[in-house]
Amino acid sequence: MRKSRWIISSNYSIGKKSKRFIVEIDDSKFELAAASYELLVLHGDGAISSEALMLALEEDVNVVIIDNDFSLSWFSGFVKGVEYLLSQKSFAKLPDHPNAIIDTYILSGCNFLSEVGYQVDKELVEYLLSIDDIERKFLEVFSRFESITLSLLSVELGLDTSIIRKLCSLYSAFLEAEVLSAIIFSGLSPVIGFLNKRMLYRDLSLEFKFPVVWKSVLNLRDEQIKDLDSMENKRRVLRVLKGRMEEVSSYYKVSYRELIRRRARLLASSMINPAIRYPATEWF
């Protein structure tokens, strides 16, 4: 199975030698065999050569750059088939898929909040699940759950909510990079989304917000994080997120990174073949 590599540095340089990426970070230098990777995620300050980008294109390696404001830009030449994109445009206007994404977010959120000692009112959950208007449902669900989670984790970790927000933004950007790559390889476009005029990679990332992002924030209990101003601190907290991505789910018996890939493939298959269901699920 091909891997992903995250490069976080205030001074990186990526070049090419034969079929390998040559990576220089500060005083270190190493090579990455392009055929072994499906995704490179870059964050910080640096440069990637046009030759390295051409190698990524030739070897189907997605390159995602995360800016300092945690917005994403990417380079990919992978196209699975135009039929996927045509089907996606048709399904983008229908309610079934976005409902499944929001309901997965709700169910996983309830499980996570229960883990930290907060029981979401059952009547509230039933009400949120029953909202018919997709945009209103998304906005109400997201605002309620994010507010509760932010407050709880601020208390649990003993950190100001501003630090929790920054951690969430950093983690969400790297999760979105992984989801974006999985969507591209499934044959879909990452920019044709369902919810509130969002992009698809942001939509699908919602499903994994609690089991990956918020769980990783919770796992920082013993890390003594005070700020995210330095690249060293970012690398330190991102090791926790990467560990969670590679952690094997006790129920599904595969890593969360693989669950993301499978979910993206199922989403694509359900758009090509309406007989294939895309149901809501729980990740805990």
Kindly report, residue by residue over 56-101, the tens digit of the pLDDT.
999 999 999 999 999 999 999 887 777 777 777 777 667 899 999 9
Please give the Cα distance from 276 to 129 (Å, whole number).
22
**Domains, the chain:** 3-75 (3.100.10.20), 82-272 (1.20.120.920)
| Angle value at C-alpha 32, between 26 and 38, nearest 5 degrees | 115
Q: Are strands 20-25 and 28-33 parallel, antiparallel or unpaired?
A: antiparallel
Tokens for 7, please give them.
């490069």
Strands (E), the chain: 3-17, 20-25, 28-33, 37-48, 62-66, 72-75
Query: How does pLDDT run across 115-145, given as a tens digit for each residue?
Result: 999 999 999 999 999 999 999 999 999 999 9
Please report, for residues 67, 230, 284, the alpha-carbon distance to residue 48 in angstroms, rounded to integers and kept in the order given. Answer: 14, 22, 38
Here the tokens at position 94 are 């229908």
Indicate the pairing of strand 28-33 with strand 37-48.
unpaired
Q: Which two tokens stand for residue 123?
A: 């009547």
Maximum pairwise Cα distance, the chain: 60
Q: What is the pTM of this model?
A: 0.95
* Mean pLDDT for the stretch of residues 166-195: 94
Backbone angles phi, psi at 17, to 5 degrees: -145, 110
- pLDDT surpassing 90 at residue 198: no
DSSP 150: H
